[in-house]
Amino acid sequence: MAEGEKLEKTGRCLCGAVTVTATAVDPHVHACHCAMCRRWNGGPAMASNCGTTVEIAGAENVTAYRSSAWAERAFCKTCGTNLFYRVVESDELIVNVGIFDDQSGLELAGEIFVDEQPGWYGFAGERNRMTGAEVFAMFAPKEDEA
**Is 146 a residue that touches Zn ion (CB under 5 A)?**
yes
- Candidates 79, 87, 108, 109: give the one binding Zn ion (CB under 5 A): 79
Q: Write the DSSP assignment of 1-52 as a string of letters.
A: --TT--EEEEEE-SSSS-EEEEEEE-SEEEEE--HHHHHHHSS-EEEEE-TT
**Residue in 28, 37, 32 with CA at minimum distance from that of residue 113:** 32
* Bridge partners for 74 per DSSP: 64, 84
C-beta of 87 vs 105, nearer to Zn ion: 87
**Is 74 a residue that touches Zn ion (CB under 5 A)?**
no
- Candidates 47, 76, 83, 94: give the one binding Zn ion (CB under 5 A): 76
Integer Cα distance of 83 and 102 in angstroms: 15
**Is 97 a residue that touches Zn ion (CB under 5 A)?**
no
Rounded least distance, CB 45 to Zn ion, Å: 5
Contact 66, 143 (CB under 8 A): no
Task: Please give the distance of CA 78 from its chain centroid, rounded to a whole number.
Answer: 20
**Is 135 a residue that touches Zn ion (CB under 5 A)?**
no
Which 2-61 positions form the footprint of Zn ion (CB under 5 A)?
Answer: 13, 15, 17, 32, 34, 37
Q: Write the DSSP assignment of 91-104 as a string of letters.
A: TEEEEEGGGBS--T
Rounded least distance, CB 6 to Zn ion, Å: 23
Q: Select from 21-29, 88-96, 127-135, 138-146 the region that touches Zn ion (CB under 5 A).
A: 138-146
**Is 114 a residue that touches Zn ion (CB under 5 A)?**
no
Binding site for Zn ion (CB under 5 A): 13, 15, 17, 32, 34, 37, 76, 78-79, 146
